[in-house]
């Protein structure tokens, strides 16, 4: 099987020699005094120094007010390094690392700067510690190689090849292989460095000490075998190096052979398997090493690669690939969450998980879920209370949402409860005061922001339960509920929780006392009715008949009052909805009426017919207050514009009808947690929903359990009303047609029908009106101001309407009210 090699572009891009893309900072200037004096004589350098000092002052002011400015930290360190202010540079690096992880290149610069200043053996532990901190934060092959080189070059015991020094040097090599030996594109560099180190020890071994030399040969052979069993680039080159080395040991004759002749079967089998694994991953390696793609595309390629590795079932390879992805995307909360979730699922416990979590919250401190899972990981690993408390306190200093802070507090309390109720052997027993103190701090904080919310209720209910069950302190539990009622006295669930606790304990009188305190309170939605009915159920189940009667006596007036108030509110809302609907109709008619009359000859004729006829004479412009005149319509010789009239007939009535026909359903008894989307889904099978208006309390802003739902037509409205008494979120909805008051309806309908008739009939309407006036007299005189209230003629009993009038009868006079009254009394 041939080895598939990565493209040259991929190899170049995966190399870490470019320090992850960061530009290398200039080296520290020479500390020679004569050199510094000569530099100070230069005017240009003085100007640069002044400019840098000004920049430092600006950056120091920025960091003092905003220490979380990452870019300011980087720039500040860069300038301090240029001017070689060593003490300030150390302080700046430490201050930044307190808040942020440093990049591998920044750790390399820091270690090299310290190494250049101190050459003695005393400085070795401090610099070694810097390298240890650097390789802990991110995976970096180049940083590991610098660390290994530093140990070999500067550790006196290693340079002397003493047994203790050799063992000390092997430890970082093994840890480097554990961290990055499975790196497909760069891991071979660490294997080669390890072999060279062991080869150097072999070369330094006394030739007469055959036992030591044989032992060292076996050690080098083992490193070759381990490397050949791991998929990485240039596997064939590694195989040839191994065969050449075995030839030097006199074990293989044909070193140039391309096959596996002369190699032990188990090594050959491991090599073939590793080669197959490499060939299966080479295309994935090329994808994550490409440069011509966005960060989102690259992250997606990493996720695809991770999915492939997870399906292979090797946790070590999966973890190493996660580390590579984290190095590329250190502030991706999605990647950290996915990484920690995988570790929690596969490893469960161990320092590896807690170390990853500590790095995760440092890279993404504003993700509350990472802090919560970090606390749980520490608890699983049996961390000390001091360590867990420190992490919890640190999490409270981050910028999180209220829900995330609440989850943090509850997670902390959960851990304390478990350690108190189920202590682990060997751990010190915690005091309950820690739980109470945590609850008090949480209550003080959330009472400002979570008033009348389920979160605050959940916190206090948990607190009261622990006081009662864990601490066995009933008075403390009651105190918790009372403190909650002071904050959330208008929250029905708070009263119900308190009452439930007392009822479960068998304290009937205390529970009844709570009902008496809250039944007259005003709760959002149907809460006031619910607490009344709850009291009646309570007395039925726990109280005597006298208790039940007394409860009914108190509750009944309250329920009647609430029912009256509810009906008034519904009537008011219905009226407001009708007024709004009519206003829309009037606005639309107003828009139509703004069209000039000359465009509608039929309308012009109708308006002319309604103008009163002026009296001749001195007061020709004034009508008699006691009478009104109607002018007859005279036909004109001009023909009306039939097309304009037809356009008016088509436009005006249809648009007016669209606004006048409002198909609205009134929905009540809605669950207070329901929103517009719940109602829309409830009516989804009906369809035709145009708008939903969920009503809210003007004081608390909470839902009142009432809504108006507009439908596109009457058919959809009928179908919606048919769903009456169906359940939504555990409550039966009451659905009815929103019907305006009868009188207002008839008045609106009558005026609309008259306008529609006059407008749509066109010229025929004018002809009919003209003929009706022609049949009467020329001057039709109305009989006073209250003529509209004159009763119509009523036929006597037994008289038919078609009986012709005689001359003696004449025209019947209108009857007075007394005549009507007498006629009906006699009848």
Same fold, 51-289 and 664-737: no
Q: What is the pLDDT of residue 820?
A: 53
Nearest to 669 by CA among 533, 526, 563, 565: 526
Question: Which of 224-228, 252-256, 342-346, 366-370 is predicted with the least confidence, judged by mean pLDDT?
Answer: 252-256
Answer yes or no: are the C-beta atoms of 362 and 101 closer than 8 Å.
yes
Residue 788 has pLDDT above 80, yes or no: no
Q: Between 107 and 646, whose confidence is greater?
A: 107
Residue ranges of domains in the chain: 51-289, 292-400, 406-488, 502-571, 664-737
| More confident: 788 or 337 | 337
| Residue range 292-400 in CATH 3.20.20.70 | no
Nearest to 416 by CA among 452, 375, 446: 375
Does residue 595 surpass a pLDDT of 70? no
What are the Cα distances from residue 736, in Å, to 495, 639, 708, 717, 748? 33, 51, 10, 9, 22
Highest mean pLDDT among 113-117, 221-225, 735-739: 221-225
pLDDT value of position 104: 95
Q: Which residue has the higher pLDDT, 827 or 371?
A: 371
Q: What is the pLDDT of residues 655-680, one digit of tens each?
A: 334 434 568 999 999 988 888 888 98
pLDDT at 415 over 70: yes
Q: What are 324's two structure tokens?
A: 């590579």
Does the pLDDT value for residue 337 go beyond 90? yes
pLDDT at 663: 87
Which residues, 6+ apart, have CB-to-CB distance to 569 below 8 Å? 706
What is the helix (H) or strand (E) element at residue 468, kind and residue range? helix 454-469
Classify residue 40 as exposed, middle or buried by CB count within 10 Å of its CB (0-12, 13-18, 19+). exposed
pLDDT of residue 585: 62
The pLDDT assigned to 140 comes to 95
Q: Is the pLDDT of residue 764 over 50?
A: no
Report d(CA 186, CA 197) in Å as an integer.
18
* 92-106, 156-170, 296-310, 320-334: segment of lowest average pLDDT: 156-170
User: Higher-confidence residue: 203 or 254?
Assistant: 203
- Is the pLDDT score of 759 beyond 70? no
Model confidence at 90: pLDDT above 90: yes
Token output for 33: 């005094």
Provide CATH code, domain 664-737: 3.30.70.330
> Could you tell me the pLDDT band of residue 741, with boundaries at 50, 70 and 90?
low
Residues found in the chain: 827
Q: Is 243 helix (H, G, I), strand (E, B) or coil?
A: helix
Check if the beta carbon of residue 670 is closer than 8 Å to that of residue 705.
Answer: yes
Predicted pLDDT of residue 230? 94
pLDDT above 70 covers what percent of the chain? Answer: 72
Strand bridging mode 727-728 / 689-696: unpaired
pLDDT given at position 52: 86
In the prediction, which pLDDT does 573 show?
A: 81
**pLDDT tier, 258 (very low <50, low <70, confident <90, very high otherwise):** low
The yes or no reply on domain 51-289 and CATH 1.20.1300.10 is no
Residue 288 has pLDDT above 90, yes or no: yes
Q: Is the pLDDT of residue 745 over 70?
A: no
Given a cut of 70, whether residue 438 has pLDDT beyond it is: yes
**Would you state the structure tokens that stand for residue 337, as one six-digit string?**
């969450």
Which residue has better confidence, 495 or 614?
Answer: 495
From the list 471, 440, 354, 368, the residue with the least C-alpha distance to 411 is 368
pLDDT digits (tens, 9 = 90+) for 26-64: 444 444 444 444 444 555 666 788 888 899 999 999 999
β-pair partners for 185:
none
What percentage of the chain reaches a pLDDT higher than 90? 51
Residue 170: the pLDDT is 93
What pLDDT, on a 0 to 100 scale, did the predictor assign at position 624?
38
More confident residue, 158 or 370: 370
Q: Determine the pLDDT at residue 655.
A: 37
Cα 571 versus chain centre, distance: 39
Q: How confident is the model at residue 3 (pLDDT cuts 50, 70, 90)?
A: low
* pLDDT per position as a tens digit, 94-146: 999 999 999 999 999 999 999 888 766 678 899 999 999 999 999 999 999 99
CA dist list (Å): 653 to 608, 648, 755, 756, 760 = 21, 8, 9, 6, 8
β-bridge pairing 689-696 and 703-711: antiparallel
Burial of 544 (0-12, 13-18, 19+ CB in 10 A): exposed
- Torsion (CA) 616, 620, 622, 626 in degrees, nearest 10: -20
Strand partners, 665: 709, 737
Convert the pLDDT of each residue in 481-536 to its tens digit.
999 999 999 999 999 999 999 999 999 999 999 999 999 999 998 999 999 999 99
pLDDT band at residue 225, thresholds of 50, 70 and 90?
Answer: very high
Q: How confident is the model at residue 778 (pLDDT cuts 50, 70, 90)?
A: very low
- Across the chain, what does the average pLDDT equal? 79
């Amino acid at each position: 099987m041939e080895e598939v090699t990565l493209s040259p572009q991929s190899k170049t891009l995966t190399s870490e020699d470019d320090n992850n893309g960061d530009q290398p900072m200039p080296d520290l200037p020479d500390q020679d005094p004569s050199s510094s004096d000569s530099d100070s004589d230069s005017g240009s350098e003085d100007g640069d120094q002044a400019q840098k000092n000004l920049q430092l002052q600006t950056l120091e002011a920025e960091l003092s007010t905003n220490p979380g400015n990452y870019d300011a930290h980087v720039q500040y360190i860069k300038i301090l390094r240029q001017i070689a202010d060593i003490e300030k540079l150390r302080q700046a690096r430490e201050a930044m690392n307190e808040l942020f992880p440093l990049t591998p290149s920044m750790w390399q610069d820091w270690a090299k700067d310290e190494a250049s200043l101190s050459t003695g053996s005393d400085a070795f532990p401090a610099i070694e510690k810097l390298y240890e901190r650097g390789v802990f934060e991110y995976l970096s092959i180049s940083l590991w190689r610098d660390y290994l080189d530093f140990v070999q070059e500067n550790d006196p015991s290693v340079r002397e090849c003493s047994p203790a020094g050799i063992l000390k040097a092997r430890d970082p090599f093994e840890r480097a292989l554990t961290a990055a030996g499975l790196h497909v594109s760069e891991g071979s560099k660490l294997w080669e460095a390890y072999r060279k180190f062991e080869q150097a020890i072999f070369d330094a071994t006394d030739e007469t000490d055959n036992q030591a030399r044989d032992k060292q040969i076996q050690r080098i052979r083992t490193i070759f075998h381990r490397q050949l069993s791991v998929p990485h680039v240039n596997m064939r080159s590694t195989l040839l190096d191994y065969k050449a080395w075995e030839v030097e040991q006199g074990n293989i004759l044909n070193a140039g052979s391309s096959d596996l002749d002369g190699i032990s079967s188990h090594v050959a089998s491991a090599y073939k398997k590793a080669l197959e694994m490499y060939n299966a991953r080479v295309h994935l390696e090329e994808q994550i090493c490409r440069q011509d793609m966005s960060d989102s595309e690259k992250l997606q390629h990493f996720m695809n690669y991770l999915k492939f590795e997870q399906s292979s079932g090797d946790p070590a390879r999966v973890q190493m690939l996660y580390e590579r992805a984290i190095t590329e995307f250190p502030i991706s909360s999605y990647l950290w969450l996915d990484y920690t979730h995988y570790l929690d699922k596969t490893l469960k416990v161990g320092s590896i998980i807690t170390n990853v979590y500590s790095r995760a919250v440092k890279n993404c401190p504003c993700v509350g879920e990472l802090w919560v899972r970090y606390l749980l990981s520490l608890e699983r690993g049996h961390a000390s209370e001091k360590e867990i408390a420190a992490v919890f306190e640190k999490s409270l200093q981050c910028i999180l949402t209220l829900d995330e802070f609440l989850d943090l507090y509850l997670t902390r309390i959960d851990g304390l409860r478990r350690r108190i109720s189920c202590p682990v052997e060997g751990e010190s027993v915690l005091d309950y005061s820690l739980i109470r103190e945590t609850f008090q701090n949480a209550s003080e904080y959330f009472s400002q922001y979570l008033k009348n919310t389920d979160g605050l209720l959940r916190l206090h209910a948990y607190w009261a339960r622990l006081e009662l069950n864990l601490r066995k302190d009933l008075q403390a539990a009651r105190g918790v509920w009372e403190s909650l009622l002071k904050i959330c006295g208008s929250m029905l669930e708070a009263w119900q929780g308190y009452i439930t606790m007392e009822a479960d304990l068998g304290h009937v009188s205390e529970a009844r006392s709570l009902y008496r305190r809250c039944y007259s309170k005003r709760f959002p939605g149907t809460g006031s009715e619910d607490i009344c009915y709850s009291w009646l159920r309570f007395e039925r189940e726990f109280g005597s008949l006298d208790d039940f009667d007394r409860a009914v006596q108190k509750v009944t007036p309250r329920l009647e009052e609430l029912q009256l108030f509810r009906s008034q509110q519904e009537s008011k809302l219905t009226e407001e909805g009708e007024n709004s609907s009519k206003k829309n109709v009037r606005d639309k008619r107003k828009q139509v009426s703004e069209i000039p009359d000359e465009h509608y000859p039929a309308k012009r004729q109708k308006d002319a017919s309604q103008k009163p006829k002026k009296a001749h004479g001195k007061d020709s412009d004034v009508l008699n207050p006691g009478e009104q005149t109607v002018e007859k319509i005279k036909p004109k010789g001009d023909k009306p514009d039939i097309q304009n009239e037809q356009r008016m007939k088509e436009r005006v009535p249809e648009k007016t009808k669209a606004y006048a026909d409002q198909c609205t359903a009134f929905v009540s008894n809605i669950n207070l947690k329901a929103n517009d989307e719940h109602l829309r889904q409830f009516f989804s099978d009906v369809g035709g929903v145009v708008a939903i208006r969920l009503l809210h309390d003007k004081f608390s802003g909470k839902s009142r359990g009432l809504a108006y739902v507009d439908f596109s037509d009457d058919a959809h409205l009928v179908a919606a009303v048919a769903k009456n008494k169906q359940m939504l979120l555990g409550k039966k909805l009451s659905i009815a047609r929103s019907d305006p008051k009868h009188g207002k309806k008839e008045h609106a309908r009558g005026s609309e029908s008259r306008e529609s008739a006059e407008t749509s009939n066109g010229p025929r309407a004018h002809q009919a009106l003209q003929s009706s006036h022609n049949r009467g007299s020329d001057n039709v005189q109305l009989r006073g101001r209250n003529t509209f209230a004159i009763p119509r003629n009523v036929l006597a009993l037994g008289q038919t309407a078609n009986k012709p009038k005689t001359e003696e009868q004449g025209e019947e006079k209108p009857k007075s009210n007394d005549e009507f009254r007498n006629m009906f009394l006699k009848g």
